[in-house]
Amino acid sequence: MAWFRRKQSAESAKERLQLVLIHDRTDLTSTELGVLKDELLQVISRHVDIDREAVQIDVEHDGRTQRLVADIPLRSVTRRRAG
């Protein structure tokens, strides 16, 4: 168990830093990011039917470039019409 805990410390440092740096760089807290996601989904679902369960919206970084990446699966219209 001691071994397992040891293994975690560098990893948890990296994970915590990844989150904290996103917020430092964008001035976006995790609460604000949650609000942004909700509003984004509301707007999109006004136009198309989306699969809310499978939605993934996250801030990703590549070097020092940050991007908001949204993967929003759309529900098939044909299936709905058929049903």
Partner 1 sequence: MAAQVVTISSGKGGVGKTTAVANLAFALALDGDKVACIDGDIGLRNLDVVMGLENRIVYDIVDVIEGRCKLRQAMIRDKHLPELYLIPAAQTRDKNAVSPSDMKRVCDELRPSMDFILIDSPAGIERGFRNAIAPADRVLVITNPEVSAVRDADRVIGILEAEEKHSPALVINRLNPDLVKQHDMLSAEDVLDLLGIQLIGIVPEDEAVIVGSNRGVPVSQDPKSRAGQAFRNIAHRLKGQEVPFMDFGNKQSGLWDRIQKMTGRR
* Interface residues toward partner 1, by CB under 8 A: 6-11, 13-14, 16-18, 20-21, 24-25, 61-65
Give whichever of 13 and 48 is closer to partner 1, judged by the CB atom: 13
Q: CA–CA separation, 33 vs 43, rounded Å?
A: 16
Give whichever of 12 and 76 is closer to partner 1, judged by the CB atom: 12
Do residues 76 and 54 lie in contact, with contact meaning Cβ atoms separated by under 8 Å? no
Give whichever of 65 and 78 is closer to partner 1, judged by the CB atom: 65
CB of 52 to partner 1, least distance (A): 32
CB of 82 to partner 1, least distance (A): 48
